[in-house]
């Protein structure tokens, strides 16, 4: 089993166990988003680095690396809670993928442009790790009550 597939399975298991949304009402969006992802995937033996985090009108894309793995997380804000919607690689960078994921077209254009701008300062090796995530792991975007 590829390491990425193993991560995807663990990712889905964590969602089923904890649910994908957490409240961080007192934090700014990038901090709250990092907290959501850290709460779900921190491991003592593999540092989870979440950067950059791009937020536009209640939607966000966060690049992440952990050990030899990496990818991008797509999140949505609802009533002050950030929900992890999906995890993927380069696919989520396009306006088409963002709109297919529920982002309004104008917001998708802004978000895609801001992702490109934010990732311009990320080193090539780390960008390659973001791109290495194989496929799309869709999450249940409805938080548990």
66 near 47, Cβ under 8 Å? yes
Span 5-16, average pLDDT: 45
Domain interval for residue 59: 3-138
Question: Does residue 23 form part of some domain?
Answer: yes
Question: Does residue 104 form part of some domain?
Answer: yes
Is the pLDDT at 17 greater than 90, yes or no? no
Question: Does residue 144 form part of some domain?
Answer: no
Question: Does residue 143 form part of some domain?
Answer: no
71 near 88, Cβ under 8 Å? yes
Q: What is the pLDDT of residue 26?
A: 60
Give the integer Cα–Cα distance in Å for 85 and 77: 10
For 53-103, write each residue's pLDDT tens digit: 999 999 999 999 999 999 999 999 999 899 999 999 999 999 999 999 999
Q: If pLDDT is split at 50, 70 and 90, which confidence band does 12 have?
A: very low
Question: Does residue 145 form part of some domain?
Answer: no
40 near 33, Cβ under 8 Å? no
Is the pLDDT at 7 greater than 60, yes or no? no
Is the pLDDT at 25 greater than 70, yes or no? no
Q: Are strands 81-88 and 48-56 parallel, antiparallel or unpaired?
A: unpaired
Give the integer Cα–Cα distance in Å for 103 and 126: 26
Question: Does residue 103 form part of some domain?
Answer: yes
Number of separate domains in the chain: 1
């Amino acid at each position: 089993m590829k390491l990425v597939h193993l991560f995807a399975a663990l990712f889905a298991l964590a969602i089923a166990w904890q649910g994908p949304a957490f409240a961080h009402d007192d934090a700014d969006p990038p901090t709250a988003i990092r907290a959501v992802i850290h709460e779900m995937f921190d491991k003592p033996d593999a540092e989870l680095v979440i950067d950059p985090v791009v937020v536009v009108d209640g939607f966000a894309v966060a690049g992440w690396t952990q050990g030899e793995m990496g990818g991008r997380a797509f999140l949505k804000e609802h009533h002050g809670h950030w929900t992890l919607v999906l995890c993927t690689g380069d696919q989520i960078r396009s306006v088409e993928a963002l709109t297919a994921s529920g982002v309004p077209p104008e917001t998708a254009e802004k978000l895609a442009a801001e992702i490109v701008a934010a990732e311009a300062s990320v080193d090539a090796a780390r960008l390659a790790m973001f791109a290495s995530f194989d496929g799309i792991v869709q999450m249940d975007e409805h938080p548990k009550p």
